[in-house]
């Protein structure tokens, strides 16, 4: 019998158990590739939008958040845990990831941490009016390119 004084804790606890069980179950590799592509496409789109704004190729005065600062925060969020996009066994047949992502995991994770740090630095620069905004953007861009060069087909 359930102790009614503890009932409010029961449902959150069951939810946590279900979440842990779900995350312990590996996603289908092809679904993981599709998900990873979507995240990376979002990254690329945001980088392109930031570049256009930083280079003054477009003048955009949109809604709040549709600025370099908003895009930079989104980039920071998307790049918080890149290795999680490449779980063991998460490379489907249609993937552009090189096998080195897994065989040289320490180097891959080092590059991912570098990108994460560069994305955070870019977000800080964008939100604080830092005059080194373009420099921070280039550092992030170079970090992305470096990883793609060695770990992407």
Does a structural domain hold residue 11?
no
pLDDT at 6 over 60: no
Q: Is residue 61 part of a domain?
A: yes
Residue 34: burial class (beta carbons within 10 Å; 0-12, 13-18, 19+): middle
Q: pLDDT at position 82, please?
A: 96
Q: Does some domain include residue 5?
A: no
**Domain extent for 62:** 28-151
Sign of CA dihedral 101, 105, 107, 108: positive
According to the model, what pLDDT value does residue 23 have?
A: 42
pLDDT band for 65, please (50, 70, 90 cuts). Answer: low
Q: Report yes or no on 142 lying in a domain.
A: yes
> Is pLDDT above 60 for 25?
no
How high is the pLDDT of residue 26?
54
How many residues does this entry show for the chain?
153
Convert the pLDDT of each residue in 126-146 to its tens digit: 998 899 999 999 999 999 999
Q: Is 107 part of a structural domain of the chain?
A: yes
Torsion of CA 127, 128, 133, 136, to 10 degrees: -80
Residue 118 contacts residue 65 (beta carbons within 8 Å): no
Number of structural domains in the chain:
1
Residue 22 makes CB contacts below 8 A (sequence gap 6+) with none
């Amino acid at each position: 019998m359930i102790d009614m004084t503890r009932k409010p804790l029961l449902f959150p606890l069951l939810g946590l158990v279900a979440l842990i069980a779900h995350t312990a179950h590996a996603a289908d590799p092809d679904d993981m590739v599709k998900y990873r592509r979507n995240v990376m496409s979002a990254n690329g789109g945001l980088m392109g939008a930031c570049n256009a704004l930083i280079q003054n190729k477009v003048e955009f005065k949109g809604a709040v958040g549709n600025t370099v600062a908003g895009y930079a925060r989104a980039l920071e969020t998307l790049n918080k845990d890149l290795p999680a996009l490449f779980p063991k066994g998460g490379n489907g047949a249609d993937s552009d990831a090189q096998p080195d992502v897994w065989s040289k995991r320490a180097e891959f994770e080092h590059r991912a941490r570098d990108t994460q740090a560069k994305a955070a630095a870019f977000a800080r620069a964008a939100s604080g009016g830092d005059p080194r905004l373009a420099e921070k953007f280039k550092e992030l861009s170079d970090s992305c390119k470096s990883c793609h060069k060695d770990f992407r087909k």
